[in-house]
Amino acid sequence: MFFQDVPQGPPDPVYILKNAVDADKSPEKVDLGVGVYRNEKALYNELSAIKEAKKVLTQKELGHDYEVTTGDAQFVKHAAAVLFGKDNKAIQSSRTTSVQAISGTGSIHLAALFLSRCAAFKGKKVYIGAPAWGNYEPLFNLVGLEVVKYKYYDAAAGVVDFKSVLDAVAKAPEGSIFVLQGCCHNPSGADLKADQWRELAKAMKPKKLFPFFDMAYQGLGGSLEDDAYGLRHFEELGFELLACQSFSKNFGLYGERCGVLHVVSESEKVAANVYDQLRCLIRWEFSSSPAYGSRLVNTILESEELTTKWTDELITMRRRLVGLRKALYDELVEKRKTPGNWEAILSSTGLFCFLPLNPQQVSSLATKYHIYMLQSGRINVSGMNQSNIERIASSIDQVVRSSATVSAHL
C-alpha cells in the first residue's frame, strides 16, 4: 500500500537495447550498442598491463579494508598527472583538489551535487550541447540544476556545429555552467579541434562561464596529451573548472567503477575548503570508493614499464578503431556505393559515431539481420571486426536501398 503511487521510471535506450541484444540467441548477432571496447572476438578486452598489475597486487596481499573517504592519495595524484600533465602549475601550487569517485558517472553526480550547494551557482543553468550523453540531464536535474540544450552536432556534415556552440556561449548569462566533453564525444564522436578549443575559451573567459569537463575517453581519440588539450588550455588561461575523469574505457575497468573528480580553484586556501566539502559529500553519500580498480591503476602508473605497456596498448586500440572506420567506409562507399553521406564515419574519433540511419532502418537491421545499435544510429565502432564488418555493411546497404525503394513507391 505504501508504494502504490510510485510511477514507472523513464525508459533508458541503452538498457532497452542491452536487453534486446541479450535476448537474441542468433550466432550472427552483432552488438554495436553499449560503449565497451570490444576486441576482434567481440569480447571484453583485458589489457596486458592490467593482467600484470593483478599479479603484483596479489603478491602484496593488501586485503579488502575500506579506502580513505577521498581515495588513495597517491592514486588521485597520479590520476591528476595523467589528466593535467606532470608539470601542471595548478597541481604544483595546490590549487587542484582531486578525490576518488564512482567512475565517470559518479564523478559527474558528485560534481553536480557540489555545484548545487555552492552559493556562486545559485540560480545558474547548465548548458549541454545536443545530442549528448543521455545521463547528463537527469544527473543535473537530480540535484536541482536546470539544463539548457543547444545544438552541438551538424548531422548533415558530420562535424561540430561550432557556430551554434559560440552562439550558445554568447547568449548564456554570466556564471553559467558549460558541460564540455574533452575528447571522443559521446554520442557523435565529433570533437573540437585545437583552434576551436582556443576560440571557445576566448569566448567563455570574459563572460565568466564555468567549464565542466567530462573526460571519459582520454587516450582513445589521440594521445593522452592531445585528448586533454582543451582542458589543459582552459586551465592555462586561469579558468576555475571541474573535470570528471573515468578509467573505465582507457584501462578497461568498467565494472570496477574507478574515477576521479578534479576541481581547479583560484587559490590553495579555497582548494582546501573544496576538498573538505567533497570529503563530507562522499562520506554522507557513499562513504568511500572501491579500492581494487584504483590499486590496479596505481600499480601501473607507479611502474615505468607498465605505464609504457599501457600507453602502447592505447595506441593499438586507437589504430584499430581508425582501421575499422576506414574498412566500414570503404565497404559502404567504395565497394557498394550505398546512398547517403557516410563521411561522419571517418571524421569521428573514439568509440562512437553516428550512421545516417532513421529509427525504422535501425529496427530493420535488428529484426532482419541481428545487428543492434541505438535508435539514433549511434554505433560502437569496436563492435565491428574483420569477421563481421562485410556483413554489417551489406546489411546496412540493403536496408538503405530497401527503404529508398519503398519511399519511391509512396
Residues annotated as part of the active site: 133, 214, 249
> Is the peptide bond prior to 131 cis by the omega test (within 30 degrees of 0)?
yes
Pick from 4, 321, 225, 261: nearest CA to 113: 261
Strand-pair partners of 153: 160
In a 3-state reduction of DSSP, which class is residue 157? coil
CB contact set of 129 (below 8 Å; sequence gap of 6+) = 149, 150, 151, 152, 153, 165, 168, 179
Cell readout for 397 is 546497404
For 235, the enclosing helix (H) or strand (E) is: helix 229-236
| Separation CA 88–CA 82 (nearest Å) | 10
| Separation CA 72–CA 320 (nearest Å) | 33
| Separation CA 68–CA 33 (nearest Å) | 36
| Separation CA 63–CA 279 (nearest Å) | 23
